[in-house]
Amino acid sequence: MPRSALLCLALLMTGCASVTDTTLPNGRAAVDIDCSGQALKWDTCYEKAAEVCPTRGYRVLGTKGEPDAEPSEAPLGIEPGKFASRSMVITCK
């Protein structure tokens, strides 16, 4: 397998949370964090929230998605054939 293909595969397996600025209905700024996918967990969303709001912390306004799989349900660390959708909206304090 070519080295570039291995690098792409490694990036797909590790994944990363995406961050999008958004505006709440009341006009306040917020951040939408998406940590969907097989290789990511809810911890990934919370880690990204801490990166986005490093000084004073953050407040979770809402979450949407499935819970992380139990270890017995994902023996290889992933749930075969299932795409896990996870996202949260936060504001910095």
Confidence at residue 66, expressed as pLDDT on a 0 to 100 scale: 76
Q: Record the pTM.
A: 0.70
What are the CA-CA distances from residue 61 to residues 4, 9, 25, 56, 91 (Å)?
Answer: 40, 34, 12, 16, 7
Q: How confident is the model over 21-70, as pLDDT tens digits?
A: 999 999 999 999 999 887 788 999 999 999 999 999 999 999 998 776 56
List, as one string, the DSSP characters of 5-53.
Answer: HHHHHHHHHH---EEEEEE-TTS-EEEEEE--SSS--HHHHHHHHHHHS
